[in-house]
Amino acid sequence: AAYSLWLNDLCDVYLELAKPIVKNDKDENKDSKWAAQATLWVTMEAGLRLLHPMMPFVTEELWQRLPGRGTLGKSETRSIMLASFPECIEANMDHIAEASMEITMKVVGACRSLRSSYNIANKVSTHFFVHVTGDGEPMLRN
């Protein structure tokens, strides 16, 4: 589960979704850019704490190199080994957003699978059309 969170959710999905926001230097985008960067930082920091018991040396090294380390005040520990294990905060969960994102990830996965089955290179621009059936399940056509 931790590996899937790090590789699939963070690297494969969030980073790709955040790239256009972070690369946009327009003044009207500065709040969105800050929010995307802050979300990435919080997620990476918590992800490293989550992976630490399984990968102590790598996570310690990466955690020590996170930007902003040393600026978080008295609650900040000297080592990831002393940091608390991440906890789920139920109040922060958005089940509707999670369900929506799960459908989005299925659609993206299906698109990637179609591209692969037709041997279409990633750099080639393609168009996909999604038809949502009455039960809310998307059907793909290219």
19 and 52 part of one domain: yes
Alpha carbon distance 60, 63 (integer Å): 5
Query: Do 52 and 81 form a contact (C-beta atoms < 8 A)?
Result: yes
Same-domain pairing of 82 and 101? no
Does residue 30 sit in the same domain as residue 81? yes
- 98 plus 77 within the same structural domain: no
Q: Letter for the amino acid at 142?
A: N
- pTM score over 0.75: no
- Tracing tokens 């009207």 back to the chain, one arrives at 28
Task: Note down the domain range covering 115.
Answer: 94-142
Dihedrals φ, ψ of 48, to 5°? -65, -40
Find out whether 66 and 41 touch, Cβ atoms under 8 Å. yes
Whether 121 and 100 map to the same domain: the answer is: yes
Alpha-carbon span 41 to 67, nearest angstrom: 8
Judgement on whether residues 64 and 126 belong to the same structural domain of the protein: no
For 97, the token pair is: 């957003």
**What is the residue type of 48?**
L
Are residues 69 and 123 both part of a single domain? no
Number of domains in the chain: 2
pLDDT, one tens digit per residue, over 72-85 is: 677 788 899 999 99
Give pLDDT tens digits for 23-78: 999 999 999 999 999 999 988 999 999 999 999 999 999 999 998 876 667 778 88
Half-sphere exposure of 129 (CA within 13 A, CB side): 3
